[in-house]
């Protein structure tokens, strides 16, 4: 230490920066890790593990958001795959105009990617282009782009392509699907789909005018079921009916994305304060009165989550970042020990805060890394390293969090690669036996979801050798595997 004290400040900063970089990235770089035999063995084993994907937004095939009107008719094309990816959340993309020629779009769009080459929100789709089409998008030529666009369009003329990519190429056995476009329909579109009940709008139920879309409105649901909604007590009965309906139709969990709209700090509000807001339009309420109502309903949703045994997936982190740190949920989590909480996206960027939350509440809290590797691959690696140091390995799940086949494939490959790298680094530096590393990887990709959702055992089908197609009504798996 005395030697360090005599160094100039600029050298101290360089040394400390190097030490911190070692903490963040581990003792080896990604390229060195991927060249190791340990990584190769673990990655191969994880690739062969049928995954349980705990979060996606896969629309019905004829409603895929990546569909475009082209000079050859309606279909999915390269512009649609990029336009409905996370790339457009953070970097500009030349818009597609209905009926335009691909060459006209590509002439402008091909330079759009120059500032995103190192970004995870761009790179996560590259494995799909390389593995499914044999194209290196980083070095793609105009002729290759034209041919890639043609092949994508042709593939999506047949729904079998989507099934092949998801269930065979990505090796996903079951996929949790959040149908925010039809929240209360509780309809299973795909045989590999697991229904999620999206409850996000329910906290705004103080007045029917809050709901622009019928698909979001609990008042429309109540009318269809002949339920009055004149008082807060009756509104709570509607919520109970919604939960019963979700459970009866096979929903296995709840999901909320309120972090995009407001703070994640939900107070334990007395019912009288919520009643004071009920029946009034937002214009007649103060921001505090609206928050009081939302907070009260959120706590009731936690109660219903426990009563109906529907674990609660909550978006945390990247959203409205002024109030999306998962630490803001801790009081509500501690007040509901009977509710199983799944905190999404690793709480990015607060992945270290997530670690201590799991340490303190390991009996009824899980972390889901969905979206995290696409937000920042290096942060995802650091998170997996830290989480596996901090809490039991059966508390981590993953999801692709995408809305088309290529995005799902790329996100799945990104996750498998990231987990395999982390585990290989722990094995190669002597911190973990390889057999234990393999088990942890399989827990993250599959077993942890099956442990939390044992009812899914009856839906497993990969062991039968069956191949799912659009004609498959339901897999004929069972638990004999």
SS3 of residue 253 by DSSP: strand
Cβ-based neighbour number of residue 83 at 10 Å: 18
The closest alpha carbon to 232, from 288, 272, 184, belongs to: 272
Structure tokens at 441: 């990887």
Q: Report which of residues 10 and 73 the model is more confident about.
A: 73
Determine how many CB atoms are found less than 10 A away from the CB of residue 99. Answer: 11
pLDDT confidence of residue 28: 54
**Mean pLDDT to the nearest integer, 203-227:** 97
Which tens digit of pLDDT belongs to each residue from 298-316? 999 999 999 999 999 999 9
| Residue 134 in this model has a pLDDT that exceeds 70 | yes
Tell me the C-alpha distance between 471 and 451, whole Å: 30
Task: Name residue, tokens 């050798």.
Answer: 465
Going through 118-217 in order, the beta strands assigned E by DSSP cover 172-177, 193-198
DSSP per position, 47-114: HTS-EEEEEE----GGG-TTEEEETTEEEE-HHHHHHTSTHHHHS--PPPPTT--HHHHHHHHTTTTG
Structure token digits, residue 59: 């629309």
Q: What pLDDT band is residue 476 in, cutting at 50, 70 and 90? A: low
pLDDT at 480 over 60: no
Contacts of 37 (CB under 8 A, 6+ apart): none
According to the model, what pLDDT value does residue 119 have?
98
Token pair listed for 432: 């973990």
| Average pLDDT, integer, range 370-398 | 98
Higher pLDDT, 17 or 401: 401
- Per-residue HEC secondary structure of 2-43 comes to HHHHCCCHHHHHHHHHHHHHHHHHCCCCHHHHHCCHHHHHHH
Higher pLDDT among residues 473 and 249, named by residue: 249
- Taking residues 240-263, report their average pLDDT: 98
Contact 47, 442 (CB under 8 A): no
Contact 102, 78 (CB under 8 A): yes
Q: Look at strands 73-76 and 67-70 and give their pairing.
A: antiparallel
- What is the structure's pLDDT at 473? 78
Mean pLDDT (whole number) for 427-456: 98
What three-state secondary structure class fits 196?
strand
- What's the rounded Cα separation, in Å, for the pair 462 and 454? 16
Report the alpha-carbon distance of residue 85 to residue 121 in Å, rounded.
8
Q: Determine the Cα–Cα distance for residues 162 and 134; give it in Å rounded to an integer.
A: 18
Integer-rounded Cα Rg, in Å, for the chain is: 24
pLDDT given for residue 346 in this prediction: 98
pLDDT at residue number 396: 98
What 3-state DSSP class applies to 256?
Answer: strand
Do 52 and 456 touch, CB atoms closer than 8 A?
yes
pLDDT band at 7 (very low <50, low <70, confident <90, very high): very low
Strand partners, 53: 175
* Interval 24-66: pLDDT, tens: 444 456 778 999 999 999 999 999 999 999 999 999 999 999 9
Q: Does residue 339 have a pLDDT over 90?
A: yes
Contact 373, 415 (CB under 8 A): yes
Q: What is the dihedral of CA 175, 176, 178, 182, to 10 degrees?
A: 80
* pLDDT value at 371 more than 80: yes
- Whether 145 and 136 have beta carbons less than 8 Å apart is answered as no
Structural contact between residues 441 and 49, judged by C-beta atoms closer than 8 angstroms = yes
The mean pLDDT value for 385-392 works out to 98
pLDDT in tens, 396-433: 999 999 999 999 999 999 999 999 999 999 999 999 99
Beta partners for residue 341, in sequence order: 312, 365
**What is the pLDDT averaged over residues 6-14?**
40
Q: Which residues contact 14 (CB under 8 A, 6 or more apart)?
A: none
The overall longest dimension of the chain from CA atoms, in Å, is 80
Contact 451, 395 (CB under 8 A): no
Q: Which string of b and e fits 282-293 if b means at least 16 CB within 10 Å?
A: eeebeeebbbbb
Task: Assess whether pLDDT exceeds 90 at residue 5.
Answer: no
Are residues 124 and 86 in contact, defined by beta-carbon separation less than 8 angstroms?
yes
Percent of the chain topping pLDDT 90 = 91
Please answer whether residues 315 and 258 qualify as being in contact, where contact means their C-beta atoms are separated by less than 8 angstroms: yes
> For residue 362, what pLDDT is reported?
79
Percent with pLDDT over 70 in the chain: 92
Between 362 and 86, the higher pLDDT residue: 86
Alpha helices in 262-404 (DSSP H): 271-277, 287-307, 330-334, 351-360, 372-375, 377-390
Q: What phi and psi, each to the nearest 5 degrees, are found at residue 350?
A: -90, 55
Average pLDDT rounded to a whole number, residues 440-468: 97
Residues constituting the chain: 481
Nearest in space to 145 (alpha carbons), one of 106, 179, 98, 184: 106
Instruction: Measure Cα distances from 68 to 75, 108, 158, 292 in Å.
Output: 5, 17, 15, 43
């Amino acid at each position: 230490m005395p030697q360090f004290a005599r160094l100039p400040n600029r050298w101290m900063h360089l040394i400390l920066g190097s030490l911190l970089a070692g903490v963040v990235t581990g003792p080896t770089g990604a390229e060195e890790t991927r060249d190791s035999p340990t990584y190769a063995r673990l990655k191969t084993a994880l690739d062969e593990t049928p995954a349980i994907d705990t979060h996606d937004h896969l629309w019905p095939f004829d409603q895929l958001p990546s569909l475009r009107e082209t000079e050859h008719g309606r279909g999915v094309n390269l512009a649609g795959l990029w336009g409905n990816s996370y790339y457009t959340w953070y970097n500009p993309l030349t818009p597609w105009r209905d009926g335009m020629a691909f060459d006209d779009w590509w002439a402008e769009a091909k330079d759009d990617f120059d500032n995103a080459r190192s970004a995870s929100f761009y790179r996560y789709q590259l494995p799909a282009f390389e593995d499914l089409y044999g194209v290196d998008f980083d070095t793609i030529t105009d002729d290759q782009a034209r041919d890639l666009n043609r092949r994508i369009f042709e593939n999506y003329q047949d729904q079998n392509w989507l099934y092949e990519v998801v269930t065979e190429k990505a090796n996903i056995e079951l996929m949790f699907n959040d149908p925010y476009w039809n929240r209360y329909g509780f309809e299973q579109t795909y045989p590999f789909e697991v229904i999620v009940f999206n409850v996000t709008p329910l906290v705004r139920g103080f007045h029917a005018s809050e709901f622009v879309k019928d698909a979001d409105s609990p008042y429309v649901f109540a009318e269809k079921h002949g339920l009055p909604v004149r008082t807060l007590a009756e509104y709570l009965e509607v919520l109970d009916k919604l939960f019963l309906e979700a459970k009866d139709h096979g929903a296995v969990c709840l999901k909320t994305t309120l972090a995009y709209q407001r703070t994640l700090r939900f107070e334990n509000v007395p019912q009288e304060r919520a009643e004071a807001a009920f029946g009034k339009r937002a214009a007649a309420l103060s921001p505090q009165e609206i928050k009081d109502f939302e907070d009260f309903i959120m706590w009731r949703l936690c109660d219903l989550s426990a009563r109906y045994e529907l674990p609660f997936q909550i978006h945390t982190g990247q959203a409205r970042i002024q109030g999306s740190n998962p630490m803001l949920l801790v009081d509500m989590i501690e007040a509901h020990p009977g509710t199983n909480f799944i905190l999404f996206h690793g709480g990015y960027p607060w992945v270290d805060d997530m670690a201590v939350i799991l340490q303190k509440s390991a009996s009824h809290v899980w972390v889901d890394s969905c979206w995290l590797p696409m937000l920042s691959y290096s942060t995802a690696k650091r998170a997996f390293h830290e989480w596996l140091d901090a809490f039991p390995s059966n508390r981590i799940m993953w999801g692709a969090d995408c809305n088309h086949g290529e995005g799902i494939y790329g996100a799945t490959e990104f996750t498998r690669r990231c987990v395999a790298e982390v585990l290989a680094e722990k094995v190669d530096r002597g911190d973990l036996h390889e057999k234990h590393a393999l088990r942890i990887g399989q827990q993250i990709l599959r077993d942890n979801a099956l442990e939390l959702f044992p009812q899914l055992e009856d839906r497993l089908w990969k062991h039968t050798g069956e191949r799912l197609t659009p004609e498959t009504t339901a897999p004929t798996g069972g638990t004999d595997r």
